[in-house]
Each structure stands twice: as C-alpha cells, then as structure tokens.
Amino acid sequence: MPAPRQLRDLKMITAIGGGHGLGRVLHCLKFMRKRLIGIVATTDNGGASGRLRQHQHTIAWGDIRNCLSQLTQQPLAAEVLNYRFNEQHELHGHNLGNLLLYTLDQLSTRPIDGIALLSRLLNITTRVLPMSEMPVDLVAETHEKIQCFGEVHVDQLCRMPLQLKLEPSVQATPEAVQHILHSDLILLGPGSFMTSIMPPLLLAEIRNAIAASPAPVIFIDNLIAENSPAGRLSLSERLAWMQQQLGPLAIDLVISNHADTQLTIPTINTVMPARDARHRHDPVSLLHALERAVTLLY
C-alpha cells in the first residue's frame, strides 16, 4: 500500500476567500511558496477600501494588501503595508498599502501586474490574485424583495437574504480559474461567510472550475460565530444555504470546532485559537489540521 500523501507533496494549493481569514491561511502555508495561490474577494466597500472605491473606479485592495502583509517575511514591510494615516493628515482614513496597490495598478496593464510587481519587491513568491480585475459590488435581495447594495449593508441584514449576486456582471480573473483547475487542494474560508467566502463563488467561472477540478475541497469554519445573519446559523445550515445559492458544490471535509450533528462530511475539530486573538486560528494547529485532512482525503 502506498504511503499517505502529505501536504508538502501537493503540487498546487488554492485558497479562496477574503479578509483576515484568507491571509491567515496563506501565512500558515507560505512554505509552499509558488505552489500556493490565493484568490481574494474584491467586493469590500467599507473602510479604507471603500473610500478609495468611492473616488476611483477600482477594485477593493484591502484584502489583497492584508494577504501580502501576512506573506512577507519582512516585519517592517508588513507595517508599511498596513500603515493607516491619522486624522491630522489629509489622507486620513486611507491605508498606505491600498494606495500603493492602486498606484501600481495605474502604472500597469492589468491589476494582477501591479500585485505581481509589489510581490517581487517584497520577495513574496506565493501568487495573490483578485477574484476579478473589474470593480464589482455584492448585492443581496431580501425576502421583502428589497435590494441591499454593498458588503457593509449585507452584513447588517437581520436574516439571510433570499439571494446574493454581483453587480455588474464581471468575468473572473483567467489565471485564477486556471490555477483552480490545476490544483491538488482547494480551501474555502475562514472569514465572513457572505462577504468574504461567497463573493468569489458567485462568479460562474470560479464555481465551474471548482466543480471541474479533481481537487478535494476543504471548508475552514470560523472559531467564533461572526456578527451577521450567517453567524446565527449552524455550519450545516450555512453549507445548505450555499448549495441553494450556487447549486451543487461538493465540500469534501470541514475543519470546525463547532459540534453539528447534521453534518455528514468528515470533520477535524482540533484547531486552537491564537494566543493574542481568540477569533483567529493558531497557525501551527491549523497547519496540523490541514496535514491531517490531506492524509484523510488522499
């Protein structure tokens, strides 16, 4: 009998999501270097990203910047990327990393060229890709048939919407689709369910690539329930809602510490929280959980 396949043996891992959750996963797996790909949600319309989007026709840069800051080996570089101008500055509320990415985008043919340039400057070999290179927003249709526009408002809904969609209709980044098709493992989450995990999956090209890929799919659950309608659902209810929105999307294994008797998917529940933040996964225990998952799946 052949030896179990190990995480480090995989030729390509694709992690999909947004916010701090995706950055945490990429940080945990950055030893994979070129064999690790991050596909980032770009629908954020709050905070510094929202301010930049208000004045410029651009994608949301905040989650991409956060992923790069967690991938860099240089602590000072991470501080520079995450630097936020204070209220005494005319750029108050803006984030230096976001402005840098936007500037590089203006000097490049495509947004991914600017990201690649900054990655080279920071000596980051993991590829970070936006889910789409075109500006797009998340829109929810409520049960009362009201259109709720933008991530900020979607997370403030009282209950799960009837439907989530992207407006306008945009294409997925072609390189992201190709990486999914050639992956040995696909990771979803952790992060805000409706505003970090769902947006990339709402793109038909990404959804179809996941379905066509032979790679097993792992869903990484949040350690603490998020403050949104999704946070009031059990994991099995969230996955059922996802299937309702997207159609068949096979999840092969779940990493979750929350007991759910309705789940019929293999579950690993050994992840510990970080010492400095209970809502963030400890990278060592998350890595061990992923290693065990690969052994089970292969």
Q: Are strands 13-17 and 36-40 parallel, antiparallel or unpaired?
A: parallel
Q: Which helix (H) or strand (E) holds 121?
A: helix 111-121
Encoded amino acid at 20, one letter:
H
Query: Using 50, 70 and 90 to split pLDDT, how confident is the model at 228?
Result: very high
pLDDT of residue 48: 80
Give the mean model confidence (pLDDT) for residues 233-251.
95
Q: Choose among 74, 293, 61: nearest CA to 187.
A: 293
Q: At what angle do helices 62-71 and 96-106 cross, to 10 degrees?
A: 110
Other beta carbons less than 10 A from residue 37's beta carbon: 24
What is the pLDDT, as a whole number, of residue 84?
87
- The proportion of the chain whose per-residue pLDDT surpasses 90, expressed as a percent, equals 87
With a cut of 70, say whether residue 193 has pLDDT above it.
yes
Residue 216 reports pLDDT greater than 90: yes
- Does pLDDT of 227 surpass 80? yes
Residue-wise pLDDT for 114-136, tens only, equals: 999 999 999 999 999 999 999 99
Task: Please report which confidence band the pLDDT of residue 86 belongs to, taking 50, 70 and 90 as the band edges.
Answer: confident
Q: What is the pLDDT of residue 1?
A: 52
Residue 106 has pLDDT above 60, yes or no: yes
Q: Which distant-in-sequence residues (6+ apart) come within 8 Å of 224 by Cβ?
A: 278, 279
Lowest mean pLDDT among 16-25, 47-56, 185-194, 277-286: 47-56
How would you classify the pairing of strands 147-149 and 137-141? Answer: antiparallel
Q: Where are the domains of the chain?
A: 7-297
**Residues facing residue 64 across a β-bridge:** none
Average pLDDT over residues 190-208: 97
pLDDT of the residue at 281: 96
Q: Are 111 and 105 in contact (CB under 8 A)?
A: yes
**Is 56's pLDDT higher than 80?**
yes
What pTM was estimated for this model as a whole? 0.95
Tell me if 52 sits within 8 A of 135, measured CB to CB.
no
Q: What is the pLDDT of residues 143-177, one digit of tens each?
A: 999 999 999 899 899 999 999 999 999 999 999 99
Band of pLDDT at residue 295, cut at 50, 70 and 90: very high
Assign 142 a pLDDT band (cuts: 50, 70, 90): very high
Give the pLDDT score at 46: 87
> What is the CATH class of 7-297?
alpha beta
